[in-house]
Amino acid sequence: MSQVLLLRLAGPMQSWGTGSRFLYRDTGLEPSKSGVIGLLCAAEGRNREQALDDLARLRMGVRADREGLLSRDYHTALDVARASGEGTGSVVSERFFLADADFLVGLEGPGELLARLDLALGEPVWPLCLGRKAFVPGEPVRFPGGGVVEGPSLESALAGVPWSPRGGEAPPERLRLVLECGPDEEGEVRQDVPLSFADRRFAVRRVRTRWLEAGSFPVAEEAV
């Protein structure tokens, strides 16, 4: 049996960039592993210099309950020093984010570690954010009563959580599920496993995407 910690990452805006550089700030279509580990570090009060090995070893899965709308805004910074050293100027950057997205995240690993993280999410040392400091959660990240569950697999834990409606909306025809591959499995490469936040070093992992069709996941009673 697997021990899985479930988190709810929902809010008006969230951004999970893995390849942002200079004037272009991207976002993935679901939470990155580096972003989720950063959130857990904030909950526990780990600083950038502390080890991440135990968190990096957790296997992650994401269920997209609401995909959100990919959006873009512009930021203008004034009085930025020019590379030539002659005076300052303005810099405009593009920043992408997901509007009104809602994700269920599962982390599979040792029960003792997951229980400690779960408690930290209920009383975080530092404020929690959805990829950027300005993007605060619209709902509690920690599940009411605790988010550690036991089941046959990470996939079954994510599939077993009821989908909840907003304002009487109809259940979706299917839900996207992104699962971290095992060591011998093939999948899409993601360079988002943090080795150190202090000097921004990341390792790669592989993920696979599958779909939960209507009827293969429960729906909260009010949506029926």
Label the pairing between strands 2-14 and 188-196: unpaired
Label the pairing between strands 88-108 and 2-14: antiparallel
Return the C-alpha torsion angle 50, 183, 1, 10, nearest 10: 60
Return the structure tokens found at 63.
């269920």
Listed in sequence order, the residues at least 6 apart from 36 whose beta carbon sits closer than 8 Å to its beta carbon are 7, 9, 60, 105, 107
Q: Which pLDDT does position 150 carry in this prediction?
A: 94
Q: Which pLDDT does position 223 carry in this prediction?
A: 45
Cα→Cα distances 89→76, 77, 85, 109, Å: 10, 8, 11, 49
Q: What is the pLDDT along the chain (224 residues), one digit of tens a residue?
A: 899 999 999 999 999 988 766 566 789 999 999 999 999 999 999 999 999 999 999 999 999 999 999 998 877 766 666 666 676 767 777 889 999 999 999 999 999 999 999 999 999 999 999 999 999 999 999 999 899 999 899 999 999 999 999 888 899 999 999 999 988 899 999 999 999 999 999 999 999 999 999 999 999 986 44
Q: Which pLDDT does position 224 carry in this prediction?
A: 43
Q: Which pLDDT does position 76 carry in this prediction?
A: 76
How many C-beta atoms surround the C-beta of residue 199 within 10 A?
8
Residue ranges covered by each domain of the chain: 2-223
pTM: 0.91
Q: Helix (H, G, I), strand (E, B), or coil: what is residue 79?
A: strand
CB 186 within 8 A of CB 204: no
CATH value of 2-223 in 2.60.40.3080, 3.30.70.2660, 3.30.420.130, 3.40.50.970: 3.30.70.2660
Number of residues that this document lists for the chain: 224
